[in-house]
Amino acid sequence: MKFIPLTAFSLILCTWLPAAQTPGEFAQDGEPKVGDLLPRIVCAEDYEARVFAIGLKAPDGLTCDSTGRILVVEETAGRVTRIEKNGTHKIMASSLRSPEGICTGENGEFFVVEDCADGRLLRFSKEGKRTVLATGLNASEGVLYVDRTLYFTESTAQLIENKFAMRTRVSRMQRSDDGSNKFGPVEVLIKRRLPYSFSELASDGPGSLLLTNEVANSIMSAGLVRLNLSTKKLDVFALGLESPEGVCRAGAANLPLLVAEEYVSALEGGRISRIVRSNKEDDKDPEVSGDPAPKKATPLGRRTTLATGFETIEDVLVTPNKSIFVTEDATGMIIELRPKQGAKPK
């Protein structure tokens, strides 16, 4: 889903830029090449931005397989593509309707959700077998597999004209332990309305999820919230985010949480933000659900800027080697934020 903060519910039109896939040294005027430096991307001093893949059609969700190869959803092409180690593209799934979210599961499988009316949640096995797990979804954008459970988001924001009547929700499907490997029915965890539209989600350890609120801007400031799976309550996790789409818990990469902000009005472009968790034991999360007058408290996450200069970005992914990958749907590129030689990313 594409939102511009100045008009919170406006959609950004996507285009793509085809280009040859040959290594380069520096992005000059014209079409960038794989391996080129991108001087328009301003990174923290320990990173540099290079072109990783080009010629994609509205690339969106990102994940990686067990060998570290990147899987990317191409929304307008209706497919999932794997970027091989030699830079070529291999189509892993096709004939999808506006696919947006993707995640990996067990034994080489991956899951995809479709961002459209009557969307689906699909499973693809390592052998390529397709299984429809759920139908009738309202513009599902994010999907996450953790602890044998699938979590996914939905929002009607792009399906109705009256944005104040929109609804958003988070649901889950749990995998059976009887050896059948099947999933149980859809269980809705929470439902909300404006000022929330949940897009992507990440694990925050046992018992909680982190959700990006794609309509957040200077007025609707709760850009990243945490869902307690036991109480079903939402707490503010980080402020100061605009149009946050993708979120990635770095985990093994020993990096902080990363958020892809599609469009920041002051920058007139996209941004990758670091969210550093506070270590203060006395910090309390401001409650954002069920309390008309929440108490003032310090959010758990503090935002800092990692990189700017993007052209409408959708998702962010961190791999175990500490490289960061970002999808830019307007240009059809995947950009790699690579640690500089000798640098120790924080």
Look at residue 251 in the predicted model and tell me its pLDDT: 58
- Residue range 57-317+332-339, CATH number: 2.120.10.30
Look at residue 45 in the predicted model and tell me its pLDDT: 81
- Measure Cα distances from 328 to 47, 106, 340 in Å: 18, 28, 22
Look at residue 15 in the predicted model and tell me its pLDDT: 31
| pTM for the structure as a whole | 0.85
Look at residue 285 in the predicted model and tell me its pLDDT: 45
Amino acid 180 reads S
Q: Domain limits of the chain?
A: 57-317+332-339
- pLDDT 10s digit of each residue in the chain, 346 long? 554 443 433 333 233 333 333 333 444 456 889 999 999 999 988 899 999 999 999 999 999 998 889 999 999 999 999 999 888 999 999 999 999 999 999 999 999 999 999 999 999 999 999 999 999 999 999 999 999 999 999 999 888 888 788 899 999 999 998 878 899 999 999 999 988 999 999 999 889 999 999 999 866 678 999 999 999 999 999 999 999 999 997 654 446 799 999 999 999 999 999 998 766 544 444 555 444 444 455 678 889 999 999 998 999 999 877 889 999 999 999 999 998 876 665 5
